[in-house]
């Protein structure tokens, strides 16, 4: 057999291009999921909010998610409903929309709770309004017989009629933390820059009046030294909205919900400062944490001029 008759070896397949392409796809997927994670928890230094109850329990949210969660909680508190109702509502919205006000969904589902106009939840415009959608969720929840004693997933399912009735349960621990932060003894902190433009105090007032259904907010006198004392431009503290309620746990709960709402919506409404009782929050400072400013009953000069007779919320809108 001559050399030419011998079978020629098959050429080796070159794989570098395929390998490189596979690595690019892998890195793209890693990048995609990293972005999704970052957008969910506010990582990488981006503006974000954290609900905390006690030293260990916390839940991270984007500013959008926090604003929606705060609205859901505020509507429940304004209706005089207990924490259990707020937790059920928050867990439902976490499952249905990840606390985002979606303009799409399965069939004609919309909004935070993925409510359907064709099923009598309201018009698309109404459902896309977080105040309305939270309000009608609570209305239908309290119509469920014994809702407060039912397991969370069962109570939510009787309102939602979901195709995945067990899905709500996994959100209960996080929803309870957010409830505690917005209506209980926890706190909501939101990091991010200070306002760079003016806010609209009338818009803030109108939205809070719409949620709480009252006219207790009023514009307080200017505080010409408030900005200078903290090293900030005075213009950031020229407009103050003040809400006062005579004591009692229900009043305190409402004020806590209002303060949490203001912090959660600070980025979207250019709110510069919020204070409640003897504590204060300042946009762009202290990593978004609440700071203690004097004690309960502190007089002006020792901290915020609040006393034990009032659960007072003060909202300073940039101007």
Long-range contacts of 145-151 (CB under 8 A, 24+ apart): 147/85, 147/88, 148/82, 148/84, 148/85
Largest Cα–Cα distance of the chain, in whole Å?
Answer: 110
**How does pLDDT run across 96-110, given as a tens digit for each residue?**
999 999 999 999 999
With CA atoms as reference, report the closest residue to 130 among 65, 81, 191.
65
Copy the structure tokens of residue 78: 């304004």
Cα separation, 103 vs 105, in Å, equals 7
Neighbours of 285 (CB within 10 A): 16
Question: In whole angstroms, how large is the CA radius of gyration of the chain?
Answer: 25
**pLDDT (tens digit, 9 = 90+) per residue, 192-248?**
899 989 999 889 989 999 998 766 677 765 554 444 444 554 455 446 677 766 667
Backbone φ and ψ of 243, nearest 5°: -125, 130
Give the per-residue pLDDT at 296: 42
More confident position, 313 or 171? 171
What percent of the chain is predicted at pLDDT more than 70? 71
What dihedral angle (degrees, nearest 10) is formed by the CA atoms of 65, 70, 75, 79? 140
In this prediction the pTM is 0.79
% of the chain surpassing 90 pLDDT: 57
Q: How many residues does the chain have?
A: 319
pLDDT on residue 304: 41
Q: What is the DSSP string of 298-316?
A: PPTTSSSS--TTB--EEEE
- Which residue bears the tokens 């990593």? 287
Query: Rounded distance, CA 257 to CA 114, Å?
Result: 24
Through-space distance between the first and last CA atoms of the chain, rounded to whole angstroms: 96
pLDDT tens for each residue of 26-39: 443 443 333 333 33
Q: Which pLDDT value is given to residue 228?
A: 40
* Token pair for 244: 């006062």
State whether residue 189 is helix, strand or coil.
Answer: strand
């Amino acid at each position: 057999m001559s050399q030419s008759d011998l079978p020629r070896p098959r050429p080796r397949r070159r794989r570098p291009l395929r390998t490189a392409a596979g690595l690019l796809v892998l890195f793209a997927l890693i990048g995609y999921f990293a972005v999704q994670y970052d957008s969910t928890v506010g990582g990488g230094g981006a503006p974000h909010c954290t609900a905390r109850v006690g030293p260990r329990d916390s839940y991270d949210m984007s500013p959008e998610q926090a604003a929606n969660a705060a609205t859901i909680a505020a509507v429940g508190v304004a209706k005089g409903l207990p924490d259990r109702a707020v937790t059920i509502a928050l867990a439902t919205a976490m499952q249905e929309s990840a606390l985002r006000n979606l303009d799409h969904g399965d069939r004609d589902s919309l909004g935070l709770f993925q409510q359907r106009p064709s099923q009598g939840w309201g018009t698309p415009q109404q459902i896309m309004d977080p105040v309305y959608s939270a309000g009608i969720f609570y209305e239908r929840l309290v119509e469920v017989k014994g809702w407060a004693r039912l397991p969370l997933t069962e109570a939510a399912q009787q309102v939602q009629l979901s195709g995945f009735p067990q899905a709500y349960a996994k959100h209960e621990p996080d929803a309870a933390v957010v409830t505690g932060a917005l209506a209980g003894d926890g706190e909501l902190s939101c990091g991010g820059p200070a306002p760079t433009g003016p806010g609209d105090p009338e818009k803030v007032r109108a939205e809070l009046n719409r949620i709480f259904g009252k006219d207790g907010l009023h514009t307080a006198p200017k505080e010409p030294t408030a900005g200078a004392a903290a090293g900030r431009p005075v213009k950031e503290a020229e407009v103050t909205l003040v809400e006062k309620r005579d004591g009692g746990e229900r009043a305190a709960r409402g004020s806590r919900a209002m303060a949490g709402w203001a912090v959660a919506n600070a980025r979207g409404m250019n709110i510069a400062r919020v204070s409640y009782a003897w504590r204060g929050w300042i946009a762009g400072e202290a990593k978004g944490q609440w700071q203690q400013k004097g004690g309960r009953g502190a007089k002006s000069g020792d901290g915020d001029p609040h006393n034990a007779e009032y659960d007072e919320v003060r909202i300073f809108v940039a101007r």
